[in-house]
């Protein structure tokens, strides 16, 4: 009893979950925040940059000589009136996209989300189809020849 109910509601639940996920992402991306101080901004930028001579650490988390110099350059650039994007770009110009801990290319974000959405849709379709009763026409018809053979076998058993 519970299984057909689950199957009937699978698609709306999946769709609802999807919309909720989309809403959550939109809220996170669009929420207004207080303007950060220069020190906070510098820390945010440093946290987004990969420490060049460390293993998996951000510039903010490392005490290496390179990270220290990059933090000094971030402060200097912010003090000179450059925006956070301009500061980040100045490091991308030298190291390439590699220096960013979060990939800037939209494909890197969109691909996994696209695959996840496709998987949810396919799962919902599969559950929906599995729950649907089979059409009468879908049952293979018994041919006249089969009927005759069955009759013969039954008569042979009776005899």
Partner 1 sequence: MRALRWLLVPIVVVPVVLLLLHGFSRDPAAIPSALIGKPMPSFSLVTLDGRTVSTAELRGKPVVLNFWASWCPSCVDEHAALLDASQRYGTSVQIVGVLYQDTPDGARTFEARYGEPRWPTLLDPNGSLAIDFGVSGPPESYVIDANGIVRYKQFGPLTQQVIADQVGRVLSAATAGRGD
User: Nearest distance from residue 94's CB to partner 1, in Å?
Assistant: 4
Contact status: 44 vs partner 1 (CB under 8 A): no
Q: How far, in Å, CA of 101 to CA of 45, rounded?
A: 10
User: In the set 40, 69, 146, 152, which binds partner 1 (CB under 8 A)?
Assistant: 69
Helices (H), ranges, the chain: 2-30, 38-48, 65-79, 84-95, 106-131, 144-158
Q: Which is nearer to partner 1, 81 or 96 (CB)?
A: 96
158 alpha-carbon distance from chain centroid: 66
Least distance between partner 1 and beta carbon 49 (Å): 11
Continuous segment of H or E residues that includes residue 81: none
Kindly report the number of other CB atoms within 10 A of residue 124's CB atom.
18
Distance CA 132, CA 100 (A): 49
How far, rounded to the nearest angstrom, does the alpha carbon of residue 63 sit from its chain's CA centroid?
Answer: 33
Q: Is 94 in the site for partner 1 (CB under 8 A)?
A: yes
Cβ–Cβ under 8 Å, residues 50 and 101: yes
Question: Can residue 98 be called a binding residue for partner 1 (CB under 8 A)?
Answer: yes
Q: Which residue from 38, 63, 66, 79 is in contact with partner 1, where contact means CB under 8 A?
A: 66
70 binds partner 1 (CB under 8 A): yes
Q: Is 126 in the site for partner 1 (CB under 8 A)?
A: no
CB of 89 to partner 1, least distance (A): 11
Site membership for partner 1, residue 138 (CB under 8 A)? no
Q: Which residues bind partner 1 (CB under 8 A)?
A: 52-53, 65-66, 69-70, 72-73, 91-96, 98-99
């Amino acid at each position: 009893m519970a299984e057909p109910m689950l199957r009937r509601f699978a698609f709306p639940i999946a769709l609802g979950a999807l919309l909720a996920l989309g809403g959550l992402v939109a809220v996170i991306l669009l929420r207004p925040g207080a303007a950060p101080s220069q020190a906070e901004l510098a820390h945010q930028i440093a946290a987004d940059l990969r420490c060049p001579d460390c293993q998996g650490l951000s510039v903010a988390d490392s005490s290496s000589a390179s990270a220290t110099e990059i933090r000094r350059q971030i402060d200097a650039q912010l003090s000179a009136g450059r925006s956070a994007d301009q500061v980040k770009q100045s490091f991308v110009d030298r190291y390439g996209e590699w220096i960013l801990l979060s990939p800037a290319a939209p494909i890197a974000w969109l691909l996994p989300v696209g695959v996840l959405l496709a998987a949810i849709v396919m799962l919902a379709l599969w559950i929906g189809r599995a729950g649907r009763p089979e059409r009468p026409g879908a049952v293979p018809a018994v041919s006249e020849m089969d009927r005759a053979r069955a009759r013969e076998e039954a008569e042979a058993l009776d005899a």
